[in-house]
Amino acid sequence: MKSIIKTILLSSGALLALASCDHVEGEDRYRPYEPEIVETDKYLLIEEFTGMRCVNCPRGAETVHSITEALDGKVVAVCIHPEGHVFTEPLGGLDLTCSASTEIYNYYHPNFPAAVFDGGRANTNTARWSGVAVQAFQQPTPLNISVTNTYDASSRKVKAHYTVTFLEDYVGELCVTAYLTEDNIIGEQESLNGVHFSDYSHNHVLRGALSGVWGDKIGDAFVAGQRIEGDYEYTLKEGWVADNCNVVVFAGISRGTVYNAYQSGVTAR
């Protein structure tokens, strides 16, 4: 994995300095500079703790799906399957665990199913998830995130390029975190009343971290209009379906508030 970060800042003064110095008559001389207006593009990050042997976890997955629909798709979900947990032991030969999931679980240590919304506290009451999600989604964000990926099928390496654009001045530590997730992994799943699914679709499964698990610091102070760009690389393991994989990038306080998130497919689809 590799990260390269660069800062881009073009102030209004610099823009004016680049403008021509032709003589302008009349009122046209006094037209004010109009900065580009960037609209807020907020996404909610949901980290869901789940497992194939957890009979209540399908209900959690359904709740996350309902929240995503209610928020018009403005949700980025990551499913956490920690190693060494009774609910996440391999089932039917399928293992969805990874070390990144284990590290995240060890920090929150919730019962299953549980969900964390934008870096808040782990919530184990699925009946309350929708309300908590809406409240978190309505919080203002000081930044937008975008992600573009380039994938080399021969090496199975994805190169992810992210851009963080600041909508207002921000002072305080800020970290960028990047994960790889995979959708539509078909396998078994235990459910309530003895129901056992043999062809259950596991989605948003965390496969690994492109950054540090708790993010990489990109700075302490930023101004409105500033852009921070960076790159990560990750090699997909054999058996992972590239067309079903996504790069998830979010920005916020390490082990704390998430201000915004974004998801982009590893391949163009």
Which H, E and C letters describe 133-176, residue by residue? HHHHHCCCCCEEEEEEEEEECCCCEEEEEEEEEECCCEEEEEEE
Q: Are 52 and 188 in contact (CB under 8 A)?
A: yes
What distances in angstroms separate CA 267 from CA 4, 75, 149, 153, 205, one per listed residue? 21, 20, 7, 9, 17
Contacts within 8 Å (CB) and 24+ apart, 60-68: 60/112, 60/113, 60/114, 60/115, 60/126, 60/129, 61/113, 61/203, 63/115, 63/126, 63/129, 63/130, 64/115, 64/129, 64/204, 66/130, 67/129, 67/130, 67/133
* 243/233 Cα distance (integer angstroms): 17
Residue 158 lies in a domain: yes
Residue 233 lies in domain? 41-265
Can you give the pLDDT at residue 268? 80
Phi-psi region of 126 (alpha: psi -120 to 50; beta: other; left: phi over 0): alpha
Q: Identify the H or E element spanning 12.
A: helix 12-18
Q: Is the peptide bond before 82 cis (omega within 30 degrees of 0)?
A: no
- In the chain, which stretches have pLDDT less than 50? 2, 10-35
pLDDT in tens, 67-115: 999 999 999 999 999 999 999 999 999 999 999 999 999 999 999 999 9
Can you give the pLDDT at residue 38? 67
Residue 260 lies in a domain: yes
Q: And the tokens for 56?
A: 């209540």
Residue 46 lies in a domain: yes
Can you give the pLDDT at residue 23? 43
Can you give the pLDDT at residue 228? 98
Other C-beta atoms closer than 10 Å to the C-beta of 208 total 20
Mention every residue, 6+ apart, whose C-beta is less than 8 A from residue 48: 60, 61, 64, 77, 78, 79, 80, 113, 114, 115, 204
Can you give the pLDDT at residue 5? 57
Can you give the pLDDT at residue 11? 42
Q: Are 213 and 175 in contact (CB under 8 A)?
A: no
Can you give the pLDDT at residue 225? 97
Residue 78 lies in a domain: yes
* 234/243 Cα distance (integer angstroms): 15
pTM summary value = 0.88
Residue 35 lies in a domain: no
Can you give the pLDDT at residue 16? 37
- The CATH number of residue 156's host domain is 2.60.40.10
Phi-psi region of 194 (alpha: psi -120 to 50; beta: other; left: phi over 0): left
What DSSP designation does 33 have?
Answer: P
Residue 53 lies in a domain: yes
Residue 7 lies in a domain: no
Residue 5 lies in a domain: no
Number of domains in the chain: 1
Can you give the pLDDT at residue 32? 42
